[in-house]
Chain A
Amino acid sequence: MFPSIEAIRAIAAARTDQVVVTTMTSIFEWDAVVGDDRRHLPLIGCMSKASSVALGVALARPDVEVLCLDGDGSLLMNLGSLATIAQAAPKNLVHFVFENRVYNITGGQRRCRAPARSTSLVSPAPSGSPEPTPLARWMNFRVCCRRSSPPAVLSSSVCASKRPGHSRRSSMAG
């Protein structure tokens, strides 16, 4: 595991011209790492809806790659959006999920989670290839990274969005 700011740095380093949709903690970390950014869409006023806004941008502009930097607490409030995104199947959307298991912006209170981590997108295994949980498989998400992923893997996820035929939906836990 590594701090989310390191993940942000890795994503920012690999990012070229993609639109970046952030929410909650990722807003401030992206600002800290990247600074002024005309292609950054911070979603301040409406927690949980980053994945939905990112989907809208991706559908309106299939020629533009979209990176959604979501939080696990935020996504949990809008979990149905995973099914909506899976249905729409945009090929230009990469969905990163920072899984710190707490509401960081309100002081680190634990978010709800089932004992078997059924609300996670990735398995807790510390090594080996990424293992999607039943939730991710149900939503037809391809998991590209996970909690122990080094920053280089995150960078490759950003770059993967440029490769024809690659599944452009992914998740990670930071």
Chain B
Amino acid sequence: MSLSARRVLAEFVACGITHIVWLPDSEAGQMYRDIVDTPQLTLVPVAREGESIAIAAGLLVGGAKPIVQIQSTGFYESGDSTRGLAIDLGLPILLMLDYRGWKEDGPLTDSAAYFLEPTLDTWGIPHYLIVDDCEVDRISVAYREAQERGGPVAVLIGVEYE
């Protein structure tokens, strides 16, 4: 399994993404320099993940095409704005969620991991798992699905970016 930050960012660009609203974590921390070096993408750092959905909502209202890049723990922190904005207003926000504690084999032991997919399912948020470069086209699939369904769709990143 190998996931390149540059490959993921290229997929964002192909989707027409304009802004990445983010808070770094151990999985995505290496992506920072590559984001800054991608002129098509504007980085919007947040102080806490709970702001990220709301900022993305404002960007959408203004006509931009944002994604949110945070850890699964930050998604839990963002619960009220995911509910009150992304879901209730039907905002097509792509959530790039770093899947802390994900394992290919064996049971998930980190609550940040084993609550994630059941939570997304409960909230009716479709989700896709990515752990390798050959799966990166799922980002475009998820992005299109968000536009078509009029609501958030999540891409779960199971490994650290390279």
Contact = CB atoms under 8 A, between A and B. Distances in A.
B58 to A, nearest CB: 2
Range class of the A interface residue count = 20 to 34
Contacts, number: 90
B62 A59 contact: yes
Given A84-B45, A88-B44, A41 B51 contact: no
Contact of B59 (A41, A46, A57, A83): A57
B88 A56 contact: no
A46 B88 CA distance: 10
Contacts of A60: 18-19, 58-64
Nearest to A54: B58
B78 to A, nearest CB: 10
B51 A52 contact: yes
22 contacts: A45-B83, A45-B84, A47-B80, A49-B50, A52-B51, A52-B55, A53-B57, A53-B85, A55-B55, A55-B58, A56-B55, A56-B59, A56-B60, A56-B61, A56-B64, A57-B58, A57-B61, A81-B47, A83-B47, A84-B51, A87-B45, A88-B44
Interface of A: 21, 41, 45-47, 49, 52-61, 64, 78, 80-81, 83-84, 87-88
